[in-house]
């Protein structure tokens, strides 16, 4: 019994030493973002067919920034809910041109789950949408102050203005969003 406890203690100490070495090699920074944007062509309701969206806002590490990317439905999970992801990335651009390139709702790039959108009917026949997704950086595509980025994630919640469903899509809409999480940078140069 003593021998097993000793080995468990030694193993635990070894794991802590290894982890502390990794922590010393990385710096985790809090990340918060607020902004608004436009989906100029609305949503494509056809799974796999992307639709663009753009944004402006303010974020830690980014400052004032713009952003652009595409959104795609993956599958409908109910009459008014669906899973979604970026198609393929969303790029935030700082005022000086530095780029933070991310995916959202992409389980192949670290997201725990696809994004989820919930539509809410309005009395005039329009809908509003709430989008919730985990954003994960794509370090190999990041530039400038983000070139040493090694990971992290942040949860974004976006809320749309009212829009109308038309055929296999929707009318254009604006949205607001906010996010919170952290970014992980390699230490050193």
pLDDT at 5: 41
Q: Please give the Cα distance from 9 to 164 (Å, whole number).
A: 61
pLDDT at 187: 85
Rg (CA), the chain: 20
Q: What is the pTM of this model?
A: 0.85
Mean pLDDT, the chain cut into blocks of 10 residues (189 residues total): 39 40 74 98 95 97 97 96 97 98 98 98 98 98 97 98 96 98 87
């Amino acid at each position: 019994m003593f021998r097993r406890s000793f080995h468990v203690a030694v193993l635990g100490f070894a794991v802590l030493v290894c982890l502390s070495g990794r922590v010393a090699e990385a710096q985790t920074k809090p990340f918060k973002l607020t902004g608004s944007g436009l989906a100029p062509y609305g949503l494509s309701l056809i799974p796999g067919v992307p639709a663009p969206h753009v944004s402006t806002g303010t974020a830690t590490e980014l400052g004032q920034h713009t952003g652009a990317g595409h959104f795609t439905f993956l599958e409908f999970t109910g009459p008014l809910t669906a899973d979604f992801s970026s198609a393929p990335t969303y790029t935030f651009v700082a005022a000086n041109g530095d780029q933070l390139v991310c995916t959202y709702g992409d389980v192949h790039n670290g997201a725990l789950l696809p994004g989820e959108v919930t539509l809410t009917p309005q009395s005039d026949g329009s809908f509003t949408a709430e989008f919730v997704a985990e954003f994960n950086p794509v370090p190999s595509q990041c530039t400038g102050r983000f070139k040493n980025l090694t990971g992290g994630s942040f949860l974004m919640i976006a809320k749309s203005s009212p829009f109308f469903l038309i055929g296999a899509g929707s009318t254009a809409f604006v949205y607001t969003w906010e996010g919170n999480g952290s970014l992980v940078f390699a230490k050193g140069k």
